[in-house]
Amino acid sequence: MNRQETQWLGEILARGDGVRDGRVLVACSGGGDSLALLSFLWAVRRSLGLELLVAHAHHGLRPEAEADAELVRALCRSGDLDLMEVGLDVRGHARSRGLGLETAARELRWGWLRAQARASGAIAVATGHTLDDHTETVLVRLARGGGAGSLTPLPPRQELRWSPLIQARRAGLRSYLVRKGLAWREDPSNEEPFTPRNRWRHLLGSMRKEAPALDDHLWETHMQVAELEELKDRQVASWRGARWETDAGAILLARDWTEPELRWTLEEACRRQGWPREAVLLRGLSAWLLPHLQRRPGRATTRTWGGWHLAGTPTDSIFPWCLQRS
């Protein structure tokens, strides 16, 4: 292993990603990030006890896509790696579901990757997400009002997805490939300003000149917020059944809350119900609910805030209040 590979392996072990001694499906598009991922995992496969399989999805959106696929095929032949390929009808899926091409491609790609992982017995699907991707996603989600959760958007491991190079910078991966003598293919659509991520990517150039360590500082913030989120989630879970519960189309609530406690609980309860849970919405909702919850409901008590309805429940219930939305 070279110095960079040793550093990246050390980061995986320090994070405790939990991907060892098993089969891993490596998603490889032929771009710089995914090609560096495949090269790196090949170099450290014995250290982690990994058997690698490669997956390439042909989205059919660019004339250069066949050349991308051929590059991946050649790499797999040289490394004697099994390759799984698929052609995806992204445009058709986008039309039938009313989706943008980016969202449609992601849905189809991940549906196929999950199916291939199950069929092959893979313990993880490795993706080429980088620290740059993390920073871009933080800013996109903050701009949409995602609250503290915006700061932990791309954990190294999330269910089946594993991003071993999440702490590596995109430019560092290109330098790594140059030193290894490996060519890669760039997707020119990544430079076109038709998505929020691409627009933020251009803005980040000047932001990094002002704050060169911006990406590293955001990652450290990510780690701290993730620890606090885990503590908060354990606390909210411990209150379930005693201070709150979900029912069919309703959230049942006890009386006594502080505002942060109520907001944290509403976030989890709304997630379980599939309801909106943007940070600004939850703060307004909890501020409206708090004075009502502190009182005992009278008979047929119903209060409304926007599309939310708070009603009293039978007096013998441990949850005197029932929250619903229209």
> How many domains does the chain fold into?
2
SS3 202: helix
pLDDT digits (tens, 9 = 90+) for 202-240: 999 999 999 999 999 999 999 999 999 999 999 999 999
Residue 104 pLDDT grade (very low, low, confident, very high; cuts 50, 70, 90)? very high
Mark whether 187 and 271 lie in a shared domain: no
Q: Decide if 255 contacts 297 (C-beta within 8 A).
A: no
Can you tell me the distance from the alpha carbon of 77 to that of 110, in angstroms, rounded to the nearest whole number?
24
User: Quick check: 134 and 222 in contact, CB under 8 A?
Assistant: yes
233, part of any domain: no
pLDDT digits (tens, 9 = 90+) for 108-145: 999 999 999 999 999 999 999 999 999 999 999 999 87
Residue 261: give its domain's CATH number.
3.30.465
206: tokens are: 């000047």
Q: Are residues 181 and 275 in the same domain?
A: no
d(CA 84, CA 116): 8
The reply to whether 38 and 70 lie within a common domain is yes
CA angle 4, 5, 11 (to 5 degrees): 90
Domain that holds residue 174: 3-221
Q: Does residue 192 sit in the same domain as residue 246?
A: no
| Alpha-carbon span 304 to 251, nearest angstrom | 15
pLDDT for residue 323 is more than 90: yes
